[in-house]
Amino acid sequence: MNQTRSFTSKSAVRPEQLADKLRFGDVQWAENGEVLIWHECRSDRGVLVAARPFQLGARDLNREYAVRAGVGYGGGDFSVHGKQVLFVSGPRILRQSLDETEPVVLYESDGDIASPVLSPSGEWMVFVESWKDRERLAMAGLEGGSAVDFYTSSDFNMQPNWHPSGKFLTWVSWEHPYMPWERSRIRIAEVSGGKRVRELSSPEAEYDFAAFQPVFSPDGNCLACVTDRGGWANLRIYSFPGMVLLHEMKEPCEHSQPAWIQGMRTFAWTPDSQAVYLIRNCSGISALARYNLGESSLTLVGGEVEKISSLAQISVSPAGQIALTGSSPSVPPRVLVTNDSGTVKAARKSLPGEFPYDSKYNPVPVSWKPGKQASSDADHACHGLLYKAEAEETSAEGEVKLKPPPAVIRIHGGPTSSYAAEFDPDVRFYTSRGFSVLALNYRGSSGYGREYRNLLTGNWGVTDVEDVKDAADFLVSGNLADRYRIFLDGGSAGGFTLLLSLIRNPGFFRGGICRYGVADLLKLTEDTHRFEAHYLDSLIGKLPRTGTGM
């Protein structure tokens, strides 16, 4: 009788342990860099927490109001200026002073709000306000009263940032039918008395590329942003106000992320305006880098921060301390503080106590060529992150043999999103029970350059489905998975790909876990919100209009 070690054996990782964790949305410095403010989600409630780093006494800033912005998928929940914190709670913008106990309502909307930012003088605030059929950048004073239109000429706006003088504002805008990672542009306007006086020339006259996070330098002499004009999302620095290109990185890595939400940040100026810290993504693994303007050189920050393979929401204090949110497959999400030497200290941990650490489950970037079934762009390799499990021991009549482990192929949503080397409770659950996991970044995923992402254009449900089958063949051919025990796991757009993979390859996969998967594209066009109302136009083609929705 054959005896096989069960791949459902007892694990040190329990489902309830994985569910009991905080989620961090953003982190920023306040009070001249002496206080750290971060946004954490506890169940369905957003809370702002203030602390002097590495000292006891972290405190919640808001009690009555839950912190959550409502434009699109969220983000842009709060901003900090000195001792003042602006935050969004439903249709309201509130101001909370670090010296006071109760927040003050500054503005209430009949739409959705995100990204409130105070002017350097503290006299004005700008924010994104959205309704079902329109959106604007609005300006309002801090003494109450109504908000006025600042900019209404684009379908969408995000990432407003003030010039240190308070005389200029920059932001990103884009139009239907594009998504912000497909085609967006930087705008700059002169501001006077809380109104837009005139719009200045943008850094680029043509914009058949994506722009991300324009930020003025602390001395006001430069404007930095990230664009994928050269095929990869790289830093570009212009003089201001002349808008002469001074620096341009040309790295085969990504230095921004698809802007699914407001308020995303992947770089920050140093206080002396002589360098920029960046989060770079190469093959799904993050690293912290520093670009020095004087030498036009890029260096990676070493030390302990190298062990944190997924980083986000960078913020630099006036003293040069770097705050981020970060995790790795073996380190649950944390609010981190680091510096030039890469020393890492955790200001907040998402899980209490220590989580079981096992470095053997850290992923390895893998790639392979699509198989014979692939479409005409098969010369592009497909990518993923492999969490490799050990082969199983089997015994029969006293002879011990090794058998490939079972495997799960994970299919991300988006669909132009990607998997990163981050702490993922689902992956941890599978790997701790003996499964190999392949986090598939199929053709069309972000993180591998604009050309790779565009391979999904017009091919959703084709290219991605081909890559799921080829991923399984890759695992089997490398003896990384048992041919008869390969499962699929996907949600949202990943659920759509999962369902099609099961339909087009009957009997090939052992099973699938489909979570809130897309199943009816016509219904999706009717029910989806304004942000992605035309997303399917590029993914599949223009669908028949039904008179509702898009």
Burial (0-12, 13-18, 19+ Cβ within 10 Å), 206: exposed
Q: How far apart are CA 139 and CA 129, in angstroms?
A: 10
Question: pLDDT, tens digit, for every residue of 105-141?
Answer: 999 999 999 999 999 999 999 999 999 889 999 999 9
Instruction: Inform me whether the pLDDT recorded for 170 exceeds 60.
Output: yes
Question: Which range is most confident: 16-30, 170-184, 421-435, 514-528?
Answer: 170-184
* pLDDT bucket at 20, cuts 50 / 70 / 90: low
Instruction: Inform me whether the pLDDT recorded for 316 exceeds 70.
Output: yes
Q: How far apart are CA 448 and CA 352, in angstroms?
A: 35
Q: How far apart are CA 267 and CA 274, in angstroms?
A: 14
Q: What is the pTM of this model?
A: 0.92
On whether the CB atoms of residues 439 and 419 are closer than 8 A, the answer is yes
Phi, psi of 430 (to 5 degrees): -70, -50
Instruction: Inform me whether the pLDDT recorded for 3 exceeds 80.
Output: no
Average pLDDT over every residue of 192-218 = 90
* pLDDT bucket at 194, cuts 50 / 70 / 90: confident
Q: How far apart are CA 358 and CA 11, in angstroms?
A: 12
* pLDDT bucket at 359, cuts 50 / 70 / 90: low
Model pLDDT, residue 263: 96
On whether the CB atoms of residues 8 and 433 are closer than 8 A, the answer is yes
- In percent, the amount of the chain with pLDDT more than 70 equals 90
Instruction: Inform me whether the pLDDT recorded for 7 exceeds 70.
Output: no
- In percent, the amount of the chain with pLDDT more than 90 equals 73
**DSSP letters for 402-433:** EEPPPEEEEE-STTT----SS--HHHHHHHTT
